[in-house]
Amino acid sequence: DLSTGIIYRRRIATCQNVIPEILRKVSVLKVPDIYLEEESWLNMQKRSMAMKTHCLTWTQYASLSEESVFRESLENPNWTDFTQKGRISVTGAGLLNCVLEAFAQSFLKQGVKK
């Protein structure tokens, strides 16, 4: 946007399906790839970037979204403050709802630690 200087990007990411093989016995989970939509807003003047991501695969069964903000630290301009929020909700999978939510939560927590 020439008036604000904000760079906006929207893209689709293809990720390898990381659901354990034992859970892929359920036919709907047996897909090779998972698709995510990511939007980002880069503001060079404020030295900040916001990102929103949500899952495009299994939307009739699950909702997975994440929001991240990167901005210049108030303590040191060479540091980055990073905040992240995420939501996971699985419905329509019967008894597997809880198992799939627990797996997704564990997988995402490992990613956050990295």
Per-residue pLDDT of the chain (114 residues; tens, 9 = 90+): 888 889 999 999 998 888 777 777 777 778 889 899 999 999 999 999 999 999 898 888 778 888 999 999 999 999 999 998 888 887 766 777 777 777 777 766 776 666
Task: Say if residues 15 and 40 touch (Cβ distance below 8 Å).
Answer: no
Q: What pLDDT does residue 106 have?
A: 75
Long-range Cβ pairs for the range 25-32 (8 Å, 24+): 26/93, 26/96, 28/58, 28/61, 28/93, 29/58, 31/57
Under DSSP, the state recorded for 17 is -
Q: What pLDDT does residue 80 have?
A: 95
Distance, CA of 84 to CA of 110 (rounded, Å): 14
And the tokens for 88?
Answer: 């996971």
- Sorted by sequence, the CB contacts under 8 Å of residue 76 that are 6+ apart come out as none
What are the distances in angstroms from CA 21 to CA 16, 41, 98, 114?
13, 36, 17, 24
Q: What pLDDT does residue 113 have?
A: 66
Task: Say if residues 44 and 88 touch (Cβ distance below 8 Å).
Answer: no
Q: What pLDDT does residue 26 have?
A: 73
